[in-house]
Amino acid sequence: MQRRLSKRQQQQDATKSPDATAQPVEQQQKTEANDKRRGSKTTLHTPSILIALVCILPFLATVVLFVRYYYESNNDDSINRLSNSLHDHESISSTLKYDNRIHENGRLRPEDHIHRGAITQTLNWSVTAGQRRPDGVDKRIYLINDMFPGPSIEARSGDTLQILVHNNLEDEQISLHWHGLNMRGANTMDGVIGVTQCGIQPGQSFWYNFTISETQSGTFWYHAHSAVQRADGLYGSLVVHRPDSTLVSPNERSEMVSDSVKYGYDKEIVLMIGDWYHRTATDVASWYLWWGSMGYEPVPDSLLVNGAGRFNCSRAVRARPLDCIGSADEMPPLILDGNSSYRVRVVNTGSLTGIILGFAPGTSIQVITIDGGNPVEMEAVDGGRSSVGILFPGQRVDFVLRPLKGQTSWMTVKMDDSYVSPYTLYKTAELSVSSDFTIGNPALVPQQSFPIFQTPLPSDSLPSSPTAQSNNTNDIEEDDIININTLPSTRTLLSSLPPKSEQTHIVYTKVEKLSRLDNIPHGFFNRTTWKIQSDPPYPLLGLPRNQWDKHQFAVSTGNKNGWVDLVVNNLDEGAHPFHLHGYNFYVVDIYESPEGSGRWGSYNPWTSPSFNENIDPYDLTKAVLRDTVQIPRRGYAVLRFKADNPGVWLFHCHVMWHLAGGMAMVIDSGSGDDSVAHEPWLAEEGMECRV
């Protein structure tokens, strides 16, 4: 597999032409060359047969290779695992009568943080890999201090985190990114290989050392920003509590009611929810970054909440046997105290799909913040709805869950099929029917219900669990969903939004399958597909911009600290959840072209009919402050932020496979001059990165 990838890499590197429009001509030349090689004997006699063959053969080969590769590429691995992995059952068997992983990994203790002053927390982490069964299916995953997900971090605003990360993997480099934290004055700690640091090599350690801003609090997470390790479990939760009012100066105090009083909740939990693949992420990425995938995203097999799930072993695809144990009706439960209101902090830790979260009808949900603690206006929405969505990869939502009536209930996680369905012809309604040539995944149950057990738990028998295929037990009604993507920020937050920005930058993004890149899907910003800076092999932060290689596309905001509009035109047939490091941005405009209109939906403020030099056409009362935004297919978003955080910040799609295909660019803030690096010491001789 690796050999195949590296060969591809060589081919790509050998490609010189940066001209994206050259495709048709090249394709034609290639086909002609192939024709000559393949058909020199027959050409003279039967040109029509030859033409027919040339037309049909590649198509047939594609179909055969495609199906074979997708369903069989991992047979050997799986069989090996089957034969020698009966040693590891500890992650799901326990002396308890139920699986308590969701509970243990989601517990929060705000009381330990909101009443104290800022401190320095020093943590010592060892990253390893091991076989575990998050959903009953054995898989090699990443562990931090032997845990999956990694240790939860709880802090308060103003805390300093000093985290010593040892890479105890055999042959992979790693890095960790603190998703959503502004990292003000700490760009070198942002954890992006090739942008802010070199990878931490096997056997080496790295100190992450940064102070959380006094003004930041909310739900965050940390995850690997190296290769595709995030998708194999190298992540954990990071919750920053807002300190209570007794700790701030008296004149600020009146505005600072603690969140629990303001929103009326008693307890807090965090839920890391995401799709899950049974193959390793390297295998999944290799499949997607192959011409035969034709750009169809690999469909996940399962889903996890706080590292726990339950796969129905009987759904395993025959050609891809799994080492799977456990019963489908043992879904891991949430444990709630029946009398308390909870602040539920949800993170989409997945690689591809958006999620909708639903509770039993009659449950009341109040959405309070989006992404890193940005409060939203809920007045616009009727109360009494019991579902929230869609939360896309990298995004977070906090809501208050009022006490549930009755003794037992369920939480349902539904994967958004809009990403997967139209492009893979995947039919959620006909799960067992997959006889046609599509790359749907019959193993996946896209809607799963997890039981909620209420304390005190009965000592003799536990409430019964819904089965893994409990599609009907707790359906999510479309009109019962709070659409978190239309909630505006609170008026207080919007009051700091200027009516007009000082700079406007326009970029275009798309996944392209170009012949000059062997028809392997690549994510582009304008004409650049991102790769880790390799020539010279130093992090971008250490190099002046005039030494960045051809895989870096940068928007420079100069050194004026002014407000910037970034117009992101998504020319793709699919939507993408874009995440910006180092900043929160206001989404001041967002648009999707009507289905079937044939339009690209791109936007250029200067050529727009509503262009006015003095007034922007945006309705700022609808804006929302966040750090990860789903930009619709054939549409755009206008992101406004104050470029006052010097550094080089990655802006990228949070779909793991698209990022692996290069869907990223950087925002360069606070350096006016092309010939001056932000942190020249990072590019000293002898400190080259391994790329």
Instruction: Give the interface with Cu ion as residue ranges (CB under 5 A).
Output: 576, 653, 655, 658
Taking the least distance from each CB to Cu ion, the nearer of 411 and 629 is 629
Report in angstroms how near the CB of residue 134 gets to Cu ion at its nearest. Answer: 24
Taking the least distance from each CB to Cu ion, the nearer of 510 and 576 is 576
Taking the least distance from each CB to Cu ion, the nearer of 315 and 658 is 658
CB of 410 closer than 8 Å to CB of 451 = yes
Report in angstroms how near the CB of residue 447 gets to Cu ion at its nearest. Answer: 23
> 3-class SS at 100?
coil
DSSP-derived secondary structure letter, 40? T
Q: Where are the alpha helices (DSSP H) in 563-629?
A: none
Q: Which residue has the tokens 């100066």?
A: 249
Q: Which residues contact 33 (CB under 8 A, 6 or more apart)?
A: none
Report in angstroms how near the CB of residue 651 gets to Cu ion at its nearest. Answer: 12
Taking the least distance from each CB to Cu ion, the nearer of 354 and 647 is 354
Report in angstroms how near the CB of residue 653 gets to Cu ion at its nearest. Answer: 3
Taking the least distance from each CB to Cu ion, the nearer of 540 and 664 is 664
Residue 364 CB neighbours (<10 A): 16
Report in angstroms how near the CB of residue 630 gets to Cu ion at its nearest. Answer: 10
Q: How many CA atoms lie less than 13 Å away from 105 in the CB half-sphere?
A: 27
Residue 240: burial class (beta carbons within 10 Å; 0-12, 13-18, 19+) = buried
What do you get for the CA distance between the two ends of the chain, in Å? 18
CB of 270 closer than 8 Å to CB of 397 = no
DSSP bridge pairs for 239: 154, 219
Taking the least distance from each CB to Cu ion, the nearer of 166 and 658 is 658
Taking the least distance from each CB to Cu ion, the nearer of 377 and 627 is 627
Q: From CA 691, how far away is CA 540, in angstroms rounded?
A: 13
Report in angstroms how near the CB of residue 505 gets to Cu ion at its nearest. Answer: 20
Q: From CA 156, how far away is CA 222, in angstroms rounded?
A: 16
Report in angstroms how near the CB of residue 665 gets to Cu ion at its nearest. Answer: 13
Report in angstroms how near the CB of residue 352 gets to Cu ion at its nearest. Answer: 9
Report in angstroms how near the CB of residue 238 gets to Cu ion at its nearest. Answer: 23
Q: From CA 323, how far away is CA 133, in angstroms rounded?
A: 9
Report in angstroms how near the CB of residue 576 gets to Cu ion at its nearest. Answer: 3
Given its phi and psi angles, is residue 680 left (phi above 0), alpha (psi -120 to 50 degrees) or beta? Answer: alpha
Taking the least distance from each CB to Cu ion, the nearer of 176 and 655 is 655
Taking the least distance from each CB to Cu ion, the nearer of 192 and 655 is 655
Output the six-digit token pair for 478. 């479309």
Q: From CA 319, how far away is CA 600, in angstroms rounded?
A: 40
Taking the least distance from each CB to Cu ion, the nearer of 268 and 297 is 297
Report in angstroms how near the CB of residue 195 gets to Cu ion at its nearest. Answer: 18
Report in angstroms how near the CB of residue 663 gets to Cu ion at its nearest. Answer: 5
Report in angstroms how near the CB of residue 34 gets to Cu ion at its nearest. Answer: 32
- Give the type of residue at 482: I
> 3-class SS at 685?
coil
Write phi, then psi, for 592 (nearest 5 degrees). -130, 135
Taking the least distance from each CB to Cu ion, the nearer of 431 and 653 is 653
Taking the least distance from each CB to Cu ion, the nearer of 590 and 653 is 653
DSSP strand pairing (235-241 vs 218-224):
antiparallel
Identify which of 220, 223, 129 has the alpha carbon closest to the alpha carbon of residue 169.
129
CB of 329 closer than 8 Å to CB of 473 = no
DSSP-derived secondary structure letter, 214? T
Identify which of 522, 437, 513 has the alpha carbon closest to the alpha carbon of residue 70.
437
Q: From CA 373, how far away is CA 396, in angstroms rounded?
A: 9
Taking the least distance from each CB to Cu ion, the nearer of 587 and 653 is 653
Q: Where are the alpha helices (DSSP H) in 137-292?
A: 250-253, 259-263, 281-288
> 3-class SS at 164?
strand
Beta strand residue intervals within 487-631, DSSP E:
503-513, 521-525, 554-556, 563-570, 576-580, 585-592, 624-626, 628-631
